Structure 1
Amino acid sequence: MDRDAQIDWLIQELTTVRRALDEALQENTRLKERIHELECQQKKDSHNSGLPPSSDRFARRPRSGRERSGKRPGGQSGHQGRSLLQRHDPDQIVVHRPMQCEHCSCDLRLTPARPTARRQVLDLPSHPLQVTEHQVQQVACPECGALCRADFPVGVRAPVQYGPSLQALAVYLSQVQLLPYARVSQVLEDLFGHRLSVASIEGFVIRAHQSLEPVEEALKEALITQDVVNQDETGLYVQGKRHWVHVVSTPQLTHYAHHPKRGREALQAIGIASRLQGLSVHDGWSSYWAYGKGHALCNVHHLRELTFFAEEEHQLWASEMKVLLLLMRELVAQAKARGWNAFAEPMQVVLMEHYQQILEQGYQSVPAPPLARSGKRGKSKQHPARNLLDRLRIHADAVLAFVRDFRVPFDNNLAERDLRMLKVQQKISGCFRSVQGADAFCRLRSYVSTMRKQGHRLLTALETVLAGAPLFPSFS
């Protein structure tokens, strides 16, 4: 082989080696990024991400996001306690008097006595179900001889039936305390010595669902006109298929509805979010941005993500942003305690400038992704921290809505708390066997949650529902 041929061969081999080296370096970079991504996933739990506490790994105990108060556990000094007090109108009085003198054995049964002390015992009645028989009589008119017959009370329609109190208790146990129908029947038999059939309990639930239809319509109209509402959604299984429960709530009102879809189609069908006249607090789900006259994002989600970047990746800007958001929350709480409705404009400007400075610091420390190579479609994947920075910058008004208007909460915990019992129901029962059962559950839980928020006794309220004249909550 001559000299020129050897040089050409060496150049060709060198080119092949360089190409292979470039491919190996690219693959090595890709694998490093993948390893880093998997390590980050492994480090995430409920305190630094949106993962639920049930997904936390056993090998690690996550730290709570709450700051230590410095107080000892238990009742604090100066708190108003609750003691068991005697009642002035006991249902039964049992008198105990001495029958003979303990010194000389003299008979004291006819000797006048005077009360010296009293004690009360609060207990359940030992009597089983109370059976009330209604008898209708007829009377012959002495003037014309016509037979006049009395009428049964309203609601007494069958030869034998269950009263509204027992029906309300059955509905309460199944829809509020989430007991399956068979266990509700067993509980009632243990308590009252009478076993209700599963079909009877299901009938009570259906009757309550039908009775509450006008209440639900009034509740939806009331939520539409609220100045600030919280929204969220969670998965629900109906007949083995995934549905979504959407909640719209305030500190006084709650509405649940399920739908096979999660996005705009569901919100349009439910008919609350699509007609909102006030501000919506949510977690950033894209469908919520299309409705309402303003938006506020849940900052607890941001705190968790900032915690991850601060603790696991040691990013200074994340630590400073977390401190700033918590400081803002504390300042708002103090201002509310003084009776303020909002900060003065200069105060808002100072806080916003500090917020923007930390964002700029974050953009400098988290580089932008390289431009996509020619021939590749779409944008280059950027660092998750930069995604968070973009969200905090683009939606700054929604992030800091709680600073401008004190009616807006710092987070979306209200809606998340309202959804929590639905997840408990799913863990107990797995899924709903019928769409009608899911509809009834959502409507009844809407009513129960609203009445509980407003301080009503649930059993009393459910009695009015089963009697056919439901007690309406306050919508003012």
Structure 2
Amino acid sequence: MLAEGWARVWDLLTPVLEKVEWALPRRRCACWGKVTTASVPGVRHAGAGSVSYGPGLHAAAVLLASEGNMPVERAAMVIDALLGVPVSAGFVARANARLSEDLAAAGFDEKMKAALRAEPVLCGDESPVNVLRKDLDEATGEPCEGSPHLLAVRTPWPGLVWYGAIPSRSSAAIDATGVLDGFDGYLTRDDYAGWHQYDARLAGVQLCCAHIIRALRAVLMLAPNVQKWVGRLIDLLREANGLVVATRATGQARLDQDAIDKLRARYDADVEIGRLTNLSRPWKDDKNHPGLVLARRLAARTDQVWLFLTDFKIPWTNNAAEVRHEVARNKWICREEDRLMSVA
């Protein structure tokens, strides 16, 4: 006779909505006659004579709407479907607002900035967002100029993430957040000029190689048979990252200098080919050809392209910051004070 087989099934118990009624003592001041009612422990929004949802349902609303990037209506629907509690879209919105208020009251935003400034390496990125209405200029009362953006600064590994809404993509708007005040470590970013204001005090800058590859592809698409230097540079950047991954796995903290010199020599040669290829190539409105503009920029930024080879704690892209943008990119921000809060 064969031995019996077995199987194991893991599942969840059916959610149960627990309803707890609290007896809230009242006391009248003997001097002034004011009546004070006790509050519900741990549920500050639960007022006397009201019915409210507790921390568990608030957590579900925040998780779905914030981290899950769900519209409040859909988050309410999912809570009803999974937990059997028919909450409203208004509750979901208010739950997220309450968290924002609690974080602000605790000084979480400044503490997050301070923690980020103490890190050795950060990634930064900015991205446009849709808004219901722009902030108003305090002096004129008119809508602020510029396109509202979401700013993300974070550690390259899972850990600290800070979001901030800025009224425009300007250098002043980025700096006004204060998130990089006093930071003197390494920063991986794109080549947008708004970030250049920090370069002088940083230990080093790594240009995002994903952005570089996108710029190279744009030039390649203009004339694939002519701009062959572009394809070689794309392959070279990917080859270099592969070497970094393989070398890091052996316990080393950087590539040896000989390997770095060989990679940079190939880079320099193809960047120069790109410059010569497009030096006299015509473009619209008598402007320089995009291939020439890119080749000159890459030549000027060589050290910032290859910094990641010299210290493996520096990522070769700022994709960590960009990925977090995808969580918030489609959220609607009404005003600066309703900004997306920092998260850890």
| Smaller-chain TM-score bracket | 0.7 to 0.9
User: Does 2:213 correspond to 1:303?
Assistant: yes
The Cα of 1:399 is off from its aligned counterpart by 0.8
Residue 340 of structure 1 is aligned with which of 252, 257, 267? 252
Residue 152 of structure 2 is aligned with which of 241, 247, 254? 247
The Cα of 1:199 is off from its aligned counterpart by 4.0
The Cα of 1:296 is off from its aligned counterpart by 1.2
Residue 53 of structure 2 is aligned with which of 162, 165, 170? 162
User: Does 2:127 correspond to 1:234?
Assistant: yes
With 170-179 and 224-233 compared, the bigger mean Cα shift is at 170-179
Secondary structure of the structure 1 residue equivalent to 2:314: coil
The Cα of 1:258 is off from its aligned counterpart by 0.4
**Residue of structure 2 equivalent to 1:313:** 224
**Residue of structure 2 equivalent to 1:409:** 315
Kept in 2, the 8 Å contact 1:363–1:386? The answer is yes
**Residue of structure 1 equivalent to 2:239:** 327
Kept in 1, the 8 Å contact 2:131–2:333? The answer is yes
Residue 17 of structure 2 is aligned with which of 129, 133, 140? 129
Kept in 2, the 8 Å contact 1:232–1:248? The answer is yes
User: Does 2:163 correspond to 1:256?
Assistant: yes
User: 1:168 and 1:355, CA in 2 relative to 1: closer, same or farther beyond 3 A?
Assistant: same
Structure 2 CA distance for aligned equivalents of residues 181 and 230 of structure 1? 30
User: 1:238 and 1:340, CA in 2 relative to 1: closer, same or farther beyond 3 A?
Assistant: same
**Residue of structure 1 equivalent to 2:295:** 389
Secondary structure of the structure 1 residue equivalent to 2:188: strand
**Residue of structure 1 equivalent to 2:32:** none
User: 1:340 and 1:244, CA in 2 relative to 1: closer, same or farther beyond 3 A?
Assistant: same
Structure 1 CA distance for aligned equivalents of residues 179 and 230 of structure 2? 36
- Matched AA of 2:295: L
- Matched AA of 1:357: A
Secondary structure of the structure 2 residue equivalent to 1:398: helix
**Residue of structure 2 equivalent to 1:266:** 173
User: Does 2:82 correspond to 1:176?
Assistant: no
Structure 1 CA distance for aligned equivalents of residues 86 and 277 of structure 2? 68
Kept in 1, the 8 Å contact 2:68–2:327? The answer is no
Secondary structure of the structure 2 residue equivalent to 1:408: coil
Structure 2 CA distance for aligned equivalents of residues 320 and 194 of structure 1? 57
Secondary structure of the structure 1 residue equivalent to 2:265: helix
User: 1:238 and 1:310, CA in 2 relative to 1: closer, same or farther beyond 3 A?
Assistant: closer
- Matched AA of 1:402: F
- Give structure 2 stretches of 5+ with no counterpart: 26-37, 135-146
User: 1:276 and 1:167, CA in 2 relative to 1: closer, same or farther beyond 3 A?
Assistant: same
Query: Per-residue displacement from partner, 1:76-98 (whole Å, max 9, x unpaired)?
Result: xxxxxxxxxxxxxxxxxxxxxxx
Kept in 2, the 8 Å contact 1:246–1:258? The answer is yes
Q: How does 1:179-194 map to 2 (within 5 A)?
A: 179-194=70-85
Secondary structure of the structure 2 residue equivalent to 1:212: helix
User: 1:345 and 1:185, CA in 2 relative to 1: closer, same or farther beyond 3 A?
Assistant: closer
Residue 362 of structure 1 is aligned with which of 260, 268, 274? 274
User: 1:393 and 1:152, CA in 2 relative to 1: closer, same or farther beyond 3 A?
Assistant: closer
Secondary structure of the structure 2 residue equivalent to 1:340: coil
User: 1:319 and 1:130, CA in 2 relative to 1: closer, same or farther beyond 3 A?
Assistant: same
The Cα of 1:303 is off from its aligned counterpart by 2.2
Secondary structure of the structure 1 residue equivalent to 2:321: helix
- Tell me the percent identity: 27
**Residue of structure 2 equivalent to 1:44:** none
- Matched AA of 1:283: D
Residue 288 of structure 1 is aligned with which of 191, 195, 204? 195
The Cα of 1:118 is off from its aligned counterpart by 8.1
Structure 2 CA distance for aligned equivalents of residues 127 and 367 of structure 1? 69
Kept in 2, the 8 Å contact 1:289–1:295? The answer is no
Kept in 2, the 8 Å contact 1:369–1:381? The answer is no
Secondary structure of the structure 2 residue equivalent to 1:184: helix
Kept in 1, the 8 Å contact 2:15–2:84? The answer is no
User: 1:367 and 1:170, CA in 2 relative to 1: closer, same or farther beyond 3 A?
Assistant: closer
Query: Per-residue displacement from partner, 1:149-204 (whole Å, max 9, x unpaired)?
Result: xx876235534432211221122222222333334344444455543344443332
**Residue of structure 2 equivalent to 1:196:** 87
Structure 2 CA distance for aligned equivalents of residues 185 and 226 of structure 1? 38
Kept in 2, the 8 Å contact 1:134–1:152? The answer is no
Structure 2 CA distance for aligned equivalents of residues 188 and 343 of structure 1? 50
CA RMSD between the two structures: 2.9
The Cα of 1:290 is off from its aligned counterpart by 1.0
